């Protein structure tokens, strides 16, 4: 009987594990070579579009995705032109970055956007190519088309500033990570939260005319977690071999974000303004997972059927045993009853 019960338990476990599974994906792009399949590089405001440095100044295998040159008033973006289903999705994103050679502005974002929208970058300067803003003449400039979430790495400090037409903020905060929410046109892109990084180190190296040494204390990297219920964690690494530090911890951004669109796409934006710097990215990894309940598989159905037969046989065995015990007790010579 014990063996039969154990069999039922094992069969039930197999059936459950066969039905409940994980839908997941893993994407990576180093940007170190001369091509990046599926990526679109674009610009706004007559900017220089992003490009792979392995086609110009670096050797193949040692390149970067350059988002901006050290030029003024740039607004650019690079996005992976493949949408993915977003419902119930947990995301994790990691990448290396290097910011240098200029006068200390403005910054870049990692963003998520609606996968059904035709992309177009947002405002230059403190809007980091994600949020809306006003031009120097006071004309409105749209934010990133279909913007869902922008995570800004802001060396100058205006992504957190409610100036130039941006929606909400805590003021001018240099050397910070700042989150802004969903938006369309000149509406939304609301300030969510920020973290100042002064206690850990600088995002950028404006006084360096060449790329910082990636095998030294000047190495920089980021890791971002975005849960299915919109809780966001941002970790950063300051120095090769250093442990990551958590700068934003499990912050609930639900009230700042639109309902998740059916599909999402991801990418980077960057901007300069009256001040400037080079912004570069490489070694991007994006992973996602979501529990799913697919249609019962043939294996699962077969296992459940076997479990059902075993259960029925166990019931018959128990009934026969009770009947045998009753027959024995009807025998008056049986002293065990």
Which pLDDT value is given to residue 291?
Answer: 57
Which pLDDT value is given to residue 123?
Answer: 97
Tell me, yes or no, whether 120 and 166 share the same domain.
Answer: yes
Whether residue 335 lies inside any domain: the answer is: no
Tell me, yes or no, whether 288 and 300 share the same domain.
Answer: no
67's tokens: 């988002």
Whether residue 147 lies inside any domain: the answer is: yes
Tell me, yes or no, whether 256 and 110 share the same domain.
Answer: yes
Enter the pTM of the model.
Answer: 0.81
Whether residue 337 lies inside any domain: the answer is: no
Task: Count up the domains in the chain and report the number.
Answer: 2
Which pLDDT value is given to residue 20?
Answer: 33
Whether residue 336 lies inside any domain: the answer is: no
Whether residue 155 lies inside any domain: the answer is: yes
Q: How many H-runs (helices) and E-runs (strands) does the chain carry?
A: 2, 20
What's the CATH number where 122 sits?
2.60.120.200
Tell me, yes or no, whether 125 and 226 share the same domain.
Answer: yes
Q: Do the Cβ atoms of 268 and 111 come closer than 8 Å?
A: yes
Q: Distance between CA 165 and CA 127 in Å, rounded?
A: 9
Tell me, yes or no, whether 28 and 11 share the same domain.
Answer: no
Which pLDDT value is given to residue 7?
Answer: 36
Tell me, yes or no, whether 182 and 282 share the same domain.
Answer: yes
| Series of mean pLDDT values for 10-residue runs along the chain (337 residues) | 39 34 80 98 93 98 98 97 94 98 98 96 97 96 98 98 98 98 98 98 98 98 97 98 98 97 97 98 94 48 41 43 50 50
Range of the domain at 312: 2-15+295-330
The three-point CA angle 199-201-202 to 5° equals 125
Packed helices 298-330 and 2-19: angle between N→C axes, nearest 10 degrees: 160
Whether residue 138 lies inside any domain: the answer is: yes
Tell me, yes or no, whether 228 and 284 share the same domain.
Answer: yes
Where helices occur in the chain by DSSP H, the ranges are 2-19, 298-330
Tell me, yes or no, whether 287 and 303 share the same domain.
Answer: no
Could you tell me whether strands 176-180 and 191-196 are parallel, antiparallel, or unpaired per DSSP bridges? antiparallel
Could you tell me whether strands 191-196 and 187-188 are parallel, antiparallel, or unpaired per DSSP bridges? unpaired
Tell me, yes or no, whether 34 and 102 share the same domain.
Answer: yes
Q: Distance between CA 135 and CA 121 in Å, rounded?
A: 14
Q: Do the Cβ atoms of 146 and 77 come closer than 8 Å?
A: no
Tell me, yes or no, whether 315 and 208 share the same domain.
Answer: no
24's tokens: 């997941």
Tell me, yes or no, whether 29 and 60 share the same domain.
Answer: yes
Q: Do the Cβ atoms of 86 and 261 come closer than 8 Å?
A: yes
Whether residue 70 lies inside any domain: the answer is: yes
Tell me, yes or no, whether 43 and 11 share the same domain.
Answer: no
Whether residue 252 lies inside any domain: the answer is: yes
């Amino acid at each position: 009987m014990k063996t039969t019960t154990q069999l039922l338990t094992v069969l039930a476990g197999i059936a459950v594990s066969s039905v409940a599974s994980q839908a997941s994906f893993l994407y990576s792009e180093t940007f170190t070579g001369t091509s990046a399949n599926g990526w679109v590089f674009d610009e706004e405001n007559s900017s220089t579009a992003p490009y792979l440095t392995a086609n110009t100044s670096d050797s193949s295998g040692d390149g970067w995705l350059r988002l901006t040159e050290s030029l003024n008033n740039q607004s650019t973006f690079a996005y992976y032109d493949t949408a993915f289903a977003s419902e119930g999705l947990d995301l994790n994103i990691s990448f290396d970055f290097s910011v240098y050679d200029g006068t200390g502005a403005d910054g870049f974002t990692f963003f998520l956007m609606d996968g059904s929208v035709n992309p177009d970058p947002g405002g230059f300067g403190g809007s980091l190519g994600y949020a809306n803003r006003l031009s120097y003449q006071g004309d409105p400039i749209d934010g990133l088309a279909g913007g869902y979430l922008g995570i800004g790495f802001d060396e100058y400090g205006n992504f957190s500033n409610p100036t130039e037409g941006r929606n909400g903020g805590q003021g001018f905060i240099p050397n910070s990570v700042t989150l802004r929410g969903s938006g369309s046109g000149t509406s939304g892109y609301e300030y969510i939260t920020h973290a100042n990084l002064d206690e850990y180190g600088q995002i950028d190296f404006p006084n360096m005319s060449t790329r910082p040494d990636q095998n030294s204390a000047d190495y920089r990297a980021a890791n971002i977690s975005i849960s299915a219920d919109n809780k966001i964690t941002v970790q950063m690494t300051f120095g090769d071999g250093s442990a990551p530090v958590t700068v934003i911890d499990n912050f609930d951004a639900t009230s700042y974000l639109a309902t998740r669109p059916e599909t999402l796409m991801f990418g980077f934006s960057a901007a300069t303004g009256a001040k400037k710097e080079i912004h570069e990215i490489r070694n991007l990894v994006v992973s996602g997972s979501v529990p799913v309940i697919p249609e019962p598989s043939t294996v699962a159905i077969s296992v459940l059927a076997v479990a059902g037969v075993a259960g029925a046989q166990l019931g018959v065995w128990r009934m026969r045993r009770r009947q045998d015990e009753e027959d024995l007790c009807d025998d008056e010579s049986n002293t065990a009853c």
